[in-house]
């Protein structure tokens, strides 16, 4: 019953979201009153087949990550998000857990930053949402799963990304990341997912264990980074991290100094990029 109601709820709320409100083109003949299934799947980062099975009641027990991603894609209010969790048979994340809810107002802000590489992380540095230009700059995150979406994990355990660091800068960056994660852990001591992440990091990275045991607490803030891009070459960009008051979200924004070669290369990258948002990909089944 809950699964059937979940699918019906998703379908009703999909019909009310205009594509232009979600940053998508609205042209052409449309049978759907709002978003098509393909568009909802793209925005939420899940497969079209899985969206279809959810709406038809053929897929049971959607994960918390899937419900959260659908809530973001559907631009739900706080009360609507809670309802979606309930009809999925889940308890909405409580006050003791790291927030992952992106409000409609923050979502609208992100929709307007189409010419800027921007990504939204939760307080544990797990990627929630990325603009297409961020994906073009740093590599498409749509295939990342589980811990691969966590910036601490990717920098200390997973494959190194495109940012070029000197050995000294790399060490300082790692210290800042781990200190920030420890600060988050102290604010959310009851978050089981965060505790698992820390335990898995300790098991898989001696460097993380060393830094974690040092007990440093801090915040990862603004920096200047050089990104080695395989198509447009190196870009040196300012990276600012903004915190959303009341939600503990981190909005990471990359900008180039106007009139520089870096600005020209970023503009070229914007032409090469796509025009859709890449959301949270946690779901069974393949990506599009």
Count how many domains the chain has: 2
pLDDT higher than threshold 80 for residue 280: no
Is 279 a member of any domain?
no
pLDDT higher than threshold 60 for residue 62: yes
Q: Are residues 181 and 120 in the same domain?
A: yes
3-state secondary structure of 240: strand
Is 95 a member of any domain?
no
pLDDT higher than threshold 70 for residue 157: yes
Residue 59: pLDDT band (50, 70, 90) is confident
What tens digit of pLDDT does each residue of 220-243 get? 777 889 999 999 999 999 999 998
How much is the pLDDT for 1? 42
Torsion region of 205: left, alpha or beta (phi above 0 gives left; psi -120 to 50 gives alpha): beta
Q: What is the DSSP string of 158-203?
A: S---SEE--HHHHHHHHHHHHHHHHHHHHH-TT-HHHHHHHHHHHH
How much is the pLDDT for 32? 65
Q: Are residues 48 and 126 in the same domain?
A: no
What tens digit of pLDDT does each residue of 79-96 get? 888 899 888 988 787 768
Q: What is the mean pLDDT of residues 156-161?
A: 87
Cα separation values, 62 from 2, 51, 69, 80, Å: 11, 10, 11, 17
Residue 162: pLDDT band (50, 70, 90) is very high
Lowest mean pLDDT among 35-44, 104-113, 157-166, 189-198: 104-113
Q: Are residues 146 and 32 in the same domain?
A: no
How much is the pLDDT for 28? 63
Instruction: State what percent of residues in the chain have pLDDT above 90.
Output: 44
Q: Which residue has the tokens 């089944």?
A: 285
Residue 178: pLDDT band (50, 70, 90) is very high
Whole-number mean pLDDT of the chain? 85
Work out the number of other CB atoms within 10 angstroms of the CB of residue 115: 12
pLDDT higher than threshold 80 for residue 287: no
Is 251 a member of any domain?
yes
Residue 3: pLDDT band (50, 70, 90) is low
pLDDT higher than threshold 50 for residue 283: no
Beta bridge partners of 164: 226
> For the stretch 164-180, what's the b/e string if a residue is b when 16 or more beta carbons lie within 10 angstroms of its beta carbon?
ebeeeeeeebbbbbbbb
CATH number of the structural domain spanning residue 18: 1.10.260.40
Range of the domain at 155: 104-272
Q: How far apart are CA 149 and CA 97, in angstroms?
A: 18
- Residue 28 is given by DSSP the state S
Q: Are residues 258 and 121 in the same domain?
A: yes
Q: Are residues 63 and 110 in the same domain?
A: no
Is 99 a member of any domain?
no
How much is the pLDDT for 100? 87
User: Which carries the bigger pLDDT value, residue 145 or residue 250?
Assistant: 250
Q: Are residues 138 and 268 in the same domain?
A: yes
What tens digit of pLDDT does each residue of 125-151 get? 999 988 889 999 999 887 788 899 999
Q: Which residue has the tokens 């040196």?
A: 236
Is 146 a member of any domain?
yes
How much is the pLDDT for 255? 96
Instruction: State what percent of residues in the chain have pLDDT above 70.
Output: 89
Q: Are residues 240 and 136 in the same domain?
A: yes
Is 78 a member of any domain?
yes
- Residue 142 is given by DSSP the state G
Is 286 a member of any domain?
no
Is 284 a member of any domain?
no
How much is the pLDDT for 198? 97
Q: Are residues 117 and 206 in the same domain?
A: yes
> For the stretch 246-277, what's the b/e string if a residue is b when 16 or more beta carbons lie within 10 angstroms of its beta carbon?
ebbbbbbbbebeeeeebeebbeebbeebeebb
Most confident listed range (153-167, 178-192, 194-208, 243-257): 194-208
Q: Are residues 123 and 252 in the same domain?
A: yes
Cα separation values, 9 from 2, 101, 221, 272, Å: 10, 19, 39, 37
Q: Are 283 and 66 in contact (CB under 8 A)?
A: yes
User: Strand 163-164 and strand 127-130: pairing?
Assistant: unpaired
Q: Are residues 131 and 237 in the same domain?
A: yes
Q: Are residues 26 and 145 in the same domain?
A: no
3-state secondary structure of 224: strand
Q: Are residues 209 and 154 in the same domain?
A: yes
pLDDT higher than threshold 80 for residue 8: yes
How much is the pLDDT for 146? 86
């Amino acid at each position: 019953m809950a699964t059937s109601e979940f699918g019906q709820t998703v379908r009703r709320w999909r019909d009310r979201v205009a594509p232009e409100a979600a940053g998508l083109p609205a042209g052409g003949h449309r049978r759907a009153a709002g978003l098509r299934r393909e568009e909802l799947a793209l925005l939420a980062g899940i497969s079209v087949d899985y969206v279809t099975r959810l709406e038809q009641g053929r897929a049971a027990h959607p994960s918390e990550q899937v419900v959260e991603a659908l809530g973001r894609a559907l631009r739900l209010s706080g009360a609507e998000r809670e309802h979606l969790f309930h009809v999925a048979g889940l308890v909405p994340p409580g006050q003791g857990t790291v927030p992952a809810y992106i409000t409609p107002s923050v979502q609208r802000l992100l929709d307007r930053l189409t010419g800027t590489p921007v990504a939204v992380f939760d307080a544990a540095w797990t990627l929630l949402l990325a603009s297409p230009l961020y994906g073009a700059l740093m590599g498409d995150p749509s295939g990342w799963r589980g811990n691969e979406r966590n910036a601490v994990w990717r920098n200390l355990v997973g494959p190194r990304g495109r940012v070029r660091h000197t050995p000294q800068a790399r060490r300082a960056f790692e210290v800042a990341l781990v200190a920030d994660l420890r600060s988050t852990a102290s604010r959310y001591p009851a978050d089981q997912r965060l505790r698992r992440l820390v335990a898995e990091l300790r098991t898989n990275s001696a460097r993380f264990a060393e830094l974690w045991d040092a007990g440093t607490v801090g915040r990862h803030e603004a920096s200047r980074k050089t990104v080695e891009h395989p198509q447009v070459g190196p870009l040196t960009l300012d990276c600012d991290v903004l915190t959303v008051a009341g939600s503990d979200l981190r909005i990471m924004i990359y900008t180039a100094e106007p009139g520089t070669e870096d600005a020209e290369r970023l503009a070229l990258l914007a032409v090469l990029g796509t025009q859709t948002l890449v959301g949270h990909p946690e779901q069974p089944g393949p990506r599009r």
